[in-house]
């Protein structure tokens, strides 16, 4: 009697799914363990990028991670997060609790969704336009003008600038169909026109796709690819008090230790983890603590090949990239929030007003919903200085009732005597103009 044995190769991804089915993630949400925050514990089979995926779920719900304890040595991932809502309250909403439980405890979160290629998924609702290049005054205005003239409606857009680079993700629809732009000739024309807008940039890149991507995740990838961590015109006299990033050796355990101190702000943890993940580093252990206005992050990392940081050049590159990740979302300048009835060409008109008043857009968040446009812009003078009071008054008169919030960063205002007196100037004109929805707040960060 003879027998045979057949060996079947199992795909790595299928094997990972099998392991996960045998060891499903465990998510515990506890409102009793801490007096000031909801405690979320996540245990799961480990894989590269899992920490970022968990943090993304919490960040997308606008939750604030006040503390985190990370451990993912070996094949198991264990994390503890202390979270609150934006007002500092525990998470009592049953819908949010249920969503966290289902999202973190399902394959939807823990299988490849945040790939380095941005993970575009098919969709017929919007066309995604991604642009990177060298920043310059009036760039967004020109982009919006091209899209408006091409009969495209901007549904949502986000733009970041940092260190003379720019990255933008714009969702558009065809004006006639209110769906994704499907005409190949029209898409080709839009590409050509936008490439002409960007043609002066040696680092220019533009893609058009039908699909869905996580915008902020994608923006980090685009800025990283555009090498915004390479400082342009930096000198040794530059103020480097914030952020502070240090990278040290931990020879006993064969790790590299990364320590970051910076001003605290929403989504800071997400931003730094995006960069570490894109640089192919794994956080094996870590502690995160944000209190008052300062945030502290400490990570024990290795490269995905299992080795710690091995050279001074690599160490400096990690420092530069993490500093860039922290700085990209900085809210310096004048914050202007607009809300109005949406219409074709609205964004083009608004950005043209900024350009005509000598303002450059350092960051923008643009969205439309139920026929309403809700846009946030961070603005500075084209020279890079804070916006002067006379310029604020000019754009206030031109935008009128659209303005719902206008906030000057006092850290920048303190460097300019003209801007320091802008508050009194604005309030004097506030009552003359009778902008009922216009108000000025003086605080440093959103």
Please tell me the distance from the alpha carbon of residue 136 to that of residue 202, in angstroms, as a whole number: 13
Q: Where are the domains of the chain?
A: 21-110, 118-202, 244-327, 333-446
**CATH match for 333-446 among 3.40.50.1970, 3.40.50.300, 3.40.640.10, 3.30.70.260:** 3.30.70.260
| CATH H-level superfamily of 244-327 | ACT domain (3.30.70.260)
**What pLDDT does residue 252 have?**
72
Q: Are the CB atoms for 104 and 98 separated by under 8 Å?
A: no
The class that CATH gives domain 118-202 is: alpha beta
Please tell me the distance from the alpha carbon of residue 89 to that of residue 31, in angstroms, as a whole number: 11
Per-residue pLDDT of the chain (446 residues; tens, 9 = 90+): 444 334 334 455 565 555 555 566 789 999 999 999 999 999 988 888 889 999 999 999 999 999 999 998 777 889 999 999 999 999 999 999 999 998 887 654 543 333 333 333 345 688 888 999 889 888 999 999 999 999 999 999 999 999 989 999 999 999 888 888 888 899 889 988 988 888 765 556 667 666 667 899 999 999 999 999 998 765 443 555 679 999 999 877 789 999 999 999 999 999 999 999 999 999 999 999 997 789 999 999 999 999 999 999 999 999 999 999 999 987 778 999 999 999 888 999 999 999 999 999 999 999 998 889 999 999 999 887 889 999 999 999 999 899 998 887 654 444 444 443 443 333 333 333 333 333 333 333 33
Please tell me the distance from the alpha carbon of residue 144 to that of residue 259, in angstroms, as a whole number: 40
Please tell me the distance from the alpha carbon of residue 245 to that of residue 382, in angstroms, as a whole number: 29
3 state SS of 127: strand
**What pLDDT does residue 211 have?**
62
Query: 152: how many CB neighbours lie within 10 A of its CB?
Result: 21
Please tell me the distance from the alpha carbon of residue 198 to that of residue 76, in angstroms, as a whole number: 46
Please tell me the distance from the alpha carbon of residue 388 to that of residue 420, in angstroms, as a whole number: 9
21-110 against 244-327: fold identical: yes
Please tell me the distance from the alpha carbon of residue 287 to that of residue 65, in angstroms, as a whole number: 12
| Angle formed by the axes of helices 184-198 and 139-149, nearest 10° | 160
**What pLDDT does residue 276 have?**
97
Whose structure tokens read 């290795």? 302
Helix/strand/coil percentages in the chain, nearest 5: 35, 30, 35
Query: 36: how many CB neighbours lie within 10 A of its CB?
Result: 11
φ and ψ at residue 153, rounded to 5 degrees: -100, 125
Please tell me the distance from the alpha carbon of residue 395 to that of residue 238, in angstroms, as a whole number: 32
**What pLDDT does residue 413 have?**
43
Q: Which DSSP helix (H) or strand (E) runs through 198?
A: helix 184-198
| CATH H-level superfamily of 21-110 | ACT domain (3.30.70.260)
3 state SS of 428: helix
Q: What are 59-82's pLDDT values in tens digits? A: 999 999 999 999 987 778 899 999
Pairing of strands 205-210, 64-71: unpaired
């Amino acid at each position: 009697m003879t027998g045979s044995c057949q060996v079947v190769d199992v795909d790595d991804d299928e094997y990972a799914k099998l392991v996960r089915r045998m060891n499903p993630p465990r998510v515990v949400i506890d409102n009793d363990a801490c007096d000031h925050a909801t405690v979320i514990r996540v245990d799961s089979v480990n894989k590269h990028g899992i920490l970022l995926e968990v943090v993304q779920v919490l960040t997308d719900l606008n939750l604030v991670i006040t503390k985190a304890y990370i451990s993912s040595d070996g094949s198991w991932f264990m994390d503890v997060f202390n979270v609150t809502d934006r007002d500092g309250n525990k998470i009592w909403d049953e819908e949010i609790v249920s969503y966290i439980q289902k999202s973190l405890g399902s394959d939807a979160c823990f299988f490849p969704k945040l790939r380095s290629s941005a993970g575009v998924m098919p969709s017929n609702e919007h066309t995604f336009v991604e642009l990177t290049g060298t920043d310059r005054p009036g760039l967004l205005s020109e982009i919006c003008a091209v899209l408006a003239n091409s009969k495209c409606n901007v549904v949502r857009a986000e733009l970041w600038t940092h260190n003379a680079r720019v990255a933008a993700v714009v969702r558009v629809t065809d004006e006639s169909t209110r769906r994704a732009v499907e005409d190949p000739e029209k898409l080709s024309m839009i590409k050509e026109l936008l490439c002409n807008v960007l043609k002066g940039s040696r680092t220019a890149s533009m893609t058009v796709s039908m699909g869905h991507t996580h915008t902020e995740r994608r923006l980090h990838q685009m800025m990283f690819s555009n090498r915004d961590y390479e400082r342009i015109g930096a000198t040794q006299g530059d103020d480097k008090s914030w952020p502070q990033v240090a990278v040290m050796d931990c020879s006993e355990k064969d790790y590299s230790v990364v320590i970051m101190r910076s001003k605290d702000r929403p989504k800071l943890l997400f931003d730094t983890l995006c960069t570490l993940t894109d640089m192919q580093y794994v956080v094996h252990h870590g502690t995160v603590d944000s209190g008052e206005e300062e945030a502290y992050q400490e990570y024990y990392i290795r490269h995905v090949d299992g080795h710690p940081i091995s050279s001074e050049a690599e160490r400096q590159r990690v420092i530069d990239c993490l500093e860039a990740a922290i700085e990209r979302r900085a809210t310096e300048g004048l914050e202007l929030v607009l809300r109005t009835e949406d219409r074709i060409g609205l964004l083009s008109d608004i950005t043209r007003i900024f350009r005509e008043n000598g303002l450059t857009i350092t960051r923008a968040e643009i969205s439309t919903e139920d026929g309403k446009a809700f846009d946030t812009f961070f603005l500075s003078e084209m020279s890079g200085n804070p916006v002067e009071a006379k310029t604020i008054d000019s754009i206030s008169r031109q935008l009128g009732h659209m303005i719902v919030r206008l906030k000057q960063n006092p850290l920048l205002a303190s460097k300019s005597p003209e801007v320091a007196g802008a508050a009194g100037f604005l309030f004097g004109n506030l009552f003359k103009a009778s902008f009922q929805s216009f108000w000025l707040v003086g605080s440093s960060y959103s």
